[in-house]
Structure 1
């Protein structure tokens, strides 16, 4: 029998009587920290519900008050609230932390466990990319997708570096009268399967390089759908039979595109979906036995953990990447992983290990030869290392003033190297934001306003929710620290008036 739906997303008779219900202290604590009013939270819930095609959700201030008083809302509201508080505080806020019940079933979700079979990887990628293309952001804010962290994430991935089981020997191909017998010949429509042209994989490589360049110049939101469309088409190719070497190349391209889709989703604020693409990229890299690229995927996953203040998880992933690529990874990859290790240690406040990791990163980058490195790691140059190490020292400077100078020096040098190049535009904007926070730590509102304004000018051109969120938080902190400063007030008003409110549609 169908259940009549109430306007807040639950059944009409779901609510307990007020007697015996205890106030939800956990939700009340997060709500108080957010600074939102009950009306603002209700509006955000309704907006989020519309984005995920849940029009039956229509919340008001009285309903929010009842949640705070202990009423347990039905799906999808618990997950919507977790998503909203996660975005507000920049770290994962689980349903349990809000004192709410977990949804009964994670419909359509998949885990991160390894190994999967080749056929499973292709099938999941095909289904997932089709759903993303059809549903857009809705696929990534529904109750079935959650960001894995802690043991749920780290323990399965610890098996990533183990060798794949030996594949069974292929059966001899049947001889078909009148068909060719050359390598890769098979039965297809009309008696023969067409061979993939030798130039096809090179054209795909060029597409991946172009997408990567677009991301660095315009942010993840500008071409995300184009990347996912190409990834979906590539999974169709993988369903055909190919010689082992061709299949390995196609799997390598699949891994690169899946990681790029994950990175772009991360940059545009689609965090659970981003992690799913990264996990799929890791599986594809595993299937083609590309340990260096798999380590690169784990490095990007660690960035997401650092972003959500899960530094212990980030370190686990980084150390796993370093171990798994110890015999095969080039100097550029090792420099990137050491730099992220330094950032994770900085987030944990471990100054000695942070300095040691960043020193090893400097040494590895000096030893690298970019022309011999894979295209996917060539972005990690001197400016990128300075930007990441500058942010690491900035994190330490919050509690240790001695690190203000090295943070400012590295971020200022990043800006100098990137200004006017037309490349790494998002990195330039993030360096400006980092410098603004350093000036804020120094109690220098004029310097902070100058750097935040420079970042704001770039934010108008770059489709990056990650940049927008960081800039908004920095300006909010600046306005809270210097509420009477005219330049600060003008900047805060301009950000509120002109900066697009995230989330925004992705192309």
Structure 2
């Protein structure tokens, strides 16, 4: 069984100016007493499958690459640690790992499923706990200026709006290119501690959005790796609100993967770690995510507790006072989340009350948000047996979703179609299903 691609090794081989065959030849020369017989195919296997050669192979690889780059290279640097790291990734390794991921993604070399269990919890635990980064200053070729940081933030804002209009699939390649062409060189340039934290905050924002787009394109292992990297950048930036935003994205990702207990761990960690820094918009979203997770587990008390806190936080939101990333928390979002949780618990009447309100407020949100709100209402009225109303609301959902290339929008359309399919003999339902199926085929990827 193939392992996960070793992007760190691939990136360092390229930066050292070596070919696969050249690396193998030099390793064989250094290890002549061990009668090593590596070739370009061996190196390709180390990269593609994440395979690790027997000792002293990894140390010889470090020596060859280190001599070519005139620096010290460790097993961790080439992705061949003797054992998994327990402590937080040091900042220099963070930059290398992040940029290697971006480069590998641009070349379609990234694979592997999402982490689970302790591996999925560790990055959030490390974000929440010491040690912190005392100084993130770096010496490189050119001085990073405030305008460089602003440009990264502007790129994130632009691609976020594109994502909301057309979906993550078409936006993803543009984001990957921006990370490689703009963010990666800046992270290796010269900056002091203050500028460095702002730079890491801006680069992390782009990386987090790339994770969202990977999630929307059904590349879940890749999405998680982007989000973990963004969370480590959030820690280095010393911006607790930004870190909480990334954890909210991880919570959404875990909810999609039907891991409700992990969602609760994530959300409650963010609420705890960012206490005193967290604005009401992100607090409302984190509480609603935890509430939805408790509803998935059938735990009404936990659901109700978090949903109450979510509504209280939402009432304190002042638009414009939240970080740019939290702009997705718009009027009606909490009602959408509460409606979904109540639907899961089987309280359809109360769920519809909240869903009706979320749709009433939908005019002030972006197209993607409208699709989710109308889908939520359509599901509820379909489950209550109001077929005509479900078709009416579902048709509006399809109109808003038209032209979007998005796995999550595809899933929402499929959920509504699935709820109505048992009524397929009703002409209006049959017409809706035909249109939904056609849209699904057009949205396939």
Contact 2:179/2:207 (8 A) holds in 1: yes
What does residue 91 of structure 2 align with? 118
Equivalent of residue 306 in structure 1, options 255, 270, 280: 255
| Shift in alpha-carbon separation, 1:105–1:126, aligned structure 2, 3 A | closer
What is the distance in 1 between the residues matched to 2:85 and 2:348? 39
Higher helix share: 2
What does residue 425 of structure 1 align with? 367
What does residue 238 of structure 2 align with? 289
Equivalent of residue 169 in structure 2, options 206, 210, 221: 221
Aligned-residue offset at 1:169? 11
Aligned-residue offset at 1:235? 1.6
Aligned-residue offset at 1:368? 3.0
| Shift in alpha-carbon separation, 1:169–1:342, aligned structure 2, 3 A | closer
| Shift in alpha-carbon separation, 1:484–1:265, aligned structure 2, 3 A | same
Contact 2:124/2:247 (8 A) holds in 1: no
What is the distance in 2 between the residues matched to 1:391 and 1:473? 13
| Shift in alpha-carbon separation, 1:168–1:373, aligned structure 2, 3 A | closer
Aligned-residue offset at 1:353? 2.1
Aligned-residue offset at 1:395? 1.4
What does residue 413 of structure 2 align with? 471
Equivalent of residue 411 in structure 1, options 327, 342, 355: 355
What does residue 188 of structure 2 align with? 239
Contact 1:129/1:228 (8 A) holds in 2: yes
What is the distance in 2 between the residues matched to 1:294 and 1:352? 28
> Deviation per CA, 1:53-93, whole angstroms, max 9, x where unpaired?
xxxxxxxxxxxxxxxxxxxxxxxxxxxxxxxxxxxxxxxxx
> Deviation per CA, 1:261-297, whole angstroms, max 9, x where unpaired?
1111112211111111000101111112222211211
Counterparts of residues 165-244 of structure 1 (less than 5 Å) = 165=132, 167=134, 194-232=142-180, 233-244=182-193
What is the distance in 1 between the residues matched to 2:136 and 2:159? 37
What is the distance in 2 between the residues matched to 1:497 and 1:427? 22
Contact 2:383/2:419 (8 A) holds in 1: no
What does residue 380 of structure 1 align with? 329
Counterparts of residues 55-454 of structure 1 (less than 5 Å) = 115-135=88-108, 139=109, 142=111, 145-165=112-132, 167=134, 194-232=142-180, 233-397=182-346, 403-419=347-363, 421=364, 423-454=365-396
What is the distance in 2 between the residues matched to 1:274 and 1:290? 22
Contact 2:211/2:222 (8 A) holds in 1: yes
Q: CA RMSD in A?
A: 2.7
Q: Give the length in aligned residue pairs.
A: 370
What is the distance in 1 between the residues matched to 2:327 and 2:223? 22
What is the distance in 1 between the residues matched to 2:287 and 2:136? 40
Contact 1:265/1:274 (8 A) holds in 2: yes
Aligned-residue offset at 1:413? 1.9
| Shift in alpha-carbon separation, 1:161–1:497, aligned structure 2, 3 A | closer
Aligned-residue offset at 1:106? 5.2
What is the distance in 2 between the residues matched to 1:208 and 1:301? 18
Aligned-residue offset at 1:227? 1.6
SS in 2 for 1:326: coil
Counterparts of residues 482-493 of structure 1 (less than 5 Å) = 482-493=423-434
Contact 1:219/1:267 (8 A) holds in 2: yes
What does residue 75 of structure 2 align with? none
What does residue 93 of structure 1 align with? none
